[in-house]
Structure 1
Amino acid sequence: MTLSNIIRIDGYIQSSYLAIYPDKLLLLDGCCRADVPIVLRYIKNTLQRPISDLKVVMVTHMHPDHAGGAHKLREATGCLVVSADKPKQWYAGIGGQMMHLVDIGLAHYVANRQNRPFKKLWYSAHLQADIKVSDGDRIPRFEDWQVLETPGHTDRDLSLFHLPTRQVYTADLIIKLRHKFVAPFPIYDPKAYINSLQKIKNLNPTKVMMAHGRELAIDAATFDMLIVQAPKEPRTVKDTIKHKLRGKKSNFSEY
């Protein structure tokens, strides 16, 4: 069966994308915990389909607005959760648990800035994926989609490339703020991030679907601008705190 459409669903603090086929559905990211009822209502009420048609939920990385709803969507629909093949959890150890709390706090901060009502965002720090994938793999049950490793924001970011239409979902690789494109916050590996931008540029995609923004055609000149302006040093919460203490300007608001 061929792809019928890709629908953008406005989530709590991000856009979620649902790939629609006559006999199955693919959610391109795990969204927020608060988005689970929104996704299920869309399937039942707008599409008038059984929620069991949701066969796969991808998790591109472990932040609250990309992994927060994955487990609950699986509980509700029986779908597969698919994510990057990494040897350890992103939020591993005591430091990881602390980072998990900080990231949930950041998600609440973003929601407050967007004047969103308070919602529960808590989710497990450890993702229990049914299937793990690597660069170049096809998404299980959706062989027309290719998995691309695009790290930098974290060590396990994935982008998802629909081969027949050359549309690509890049999660947080590129952020669209009002009238400008910016790098995400945090950036853990600037060199890997620049390589990831170049990788997507080289695809010459017809459309780029962004979690923070919307679906847009992005030309080569814009990719070149993003590459030139990309951070050359890591930008993390720890770095931001250091800059604040030193009285330097921070890009924290771009999270």
Structure 2
Amino acid sequence: MEVTKGIHQFSGVSNSYIIFNNEIFLVDTGMPGKSGEIIDYIKNELKRDPQDIKTIVVTHHHFDHTGSLDKLKEITGAKVAIHSADADYIAGEKTQNGSLFMIPVVMFMKIIYRSRSVKADILLEDGDEIGDYRVIHTPGHTSGSICLYNPNNKVLFVGDNLMCSQNKIEGPRVLHEPELFKKSIEKLKNLNIDVILTGHGQAITSDANNKLETFLTELDN
């Protein structure tokens, strides 16, 4: 569905997005098995060639956001962009931390779906640009977590840094570095935002600035 002008959202365990900017790119890829749905939508609903997608931006390395990365890269030929601090995880050079339950689940799914590691083509840093979107490095959930902000349409992608529950912004369920996360989210304080697109749950399309300000105030207390 088109969640806001020029941006289409795929829901599931996590959210993925197609952005029509001065270039077409994806933000995150969802769990394994999501590639077929995304490619079908691009061809049948958007009437575009999958190879029109030039970049796949990964907000952070967790498997529910990168599970279809290898398949989508193979189909589209797009370059994969991720913050340098998370690049070794998608390349299979570091192992994702997790609960005793989640680690074997992820390994099992990788075997079932024949998921392969992916080497990043673009190593992102704070202040880099993808189309009209600026990269904001926001470590805390993972070391390489990022947000993407476009001052023209006032859209902010937050990955798992923020989520919306009962029309209220909350932080992530898992925080590896709470104090670092607090400093990271402070970077969002002075942005002019109309829409916040999250890694899980519904988009925030009304009163986004005030909701974020309320969350930041609560974070300081």
TM-score (normalizing by structure 2): 0.81
Contact 1:208 1:218 in 2 (8 A): no
The residue number in structure 2 matching 1:131 is 122
Contact 2:155 2:194 in 1 (8 A): yes
Contact 2:90 2:119 in 1 (8 A): no
Matched AA of 1:223: L
CA distance in 1 between counterparts of 2:31 and 2:183 reads: 28
Matched AA of 1:222: K
The residue number in structure 2 matching 1:102 is 102
Matched AA of 1:43: I
Q: Max radius of gyration: which structure?
A: 1
Shift of 1:177: 2.9
Counterpart mapping for 1:45-60 below 5 A: 45-60=44-59
CA distance in 1 between counterparts of 2:73 and 2:171 reads: 31
The residue number in structure 1 matching 2:24 is 25
Counterpart mapping for 1:167-206 below 5 A: 167-206=155-194
CA distance in 2 between counterparts of 1:169 and 1:97 reads: 23
Q: Percent identity between the aligned chains?
A: 27
Shift of 1:199: 1.3
SS for the counterpart of 1:72 is helix
RMSD of the alignment, in Å?
Answer: 3.3
SS for the counterpart of 2:196 is strand
Higher helix share: 1
CA distance in 1 between counterparts of 2:162 and 2:46 reads: 29
Shift of 1:103: 5.3
Counterpart mapping for 1:159-238 below 5 A: 159-216=147-204, 217-230=206-219
Deviation track 1:97-133 (CA, whole Å, cap 9, x = no partner) reads: 6649825748x9xxxxxxxxxxx56744x54111111
Contact 2:158 2:196 in 1 (8 A): yes
Matched AA of 1:77: T
The alignment covers a number of residue pairs equal to 213
TM-score (normalizing by structure 1): 0.71
Counterpart mapping for 1:76-87 below 5 A: 76-86=75-85
Counterpart mapping for 1:2-81 below 5 A: 5-10=6-11, 12-21=12-21, 24-81=23-80
SS for the counterpart of 2:201 is coil
SS for the counterpart of 2:16 is strand
Note the residue ranges of structure 1 that are not aligned, 5 or more in a row: 109-119, 233-255
Shift of 1:162: 1.7
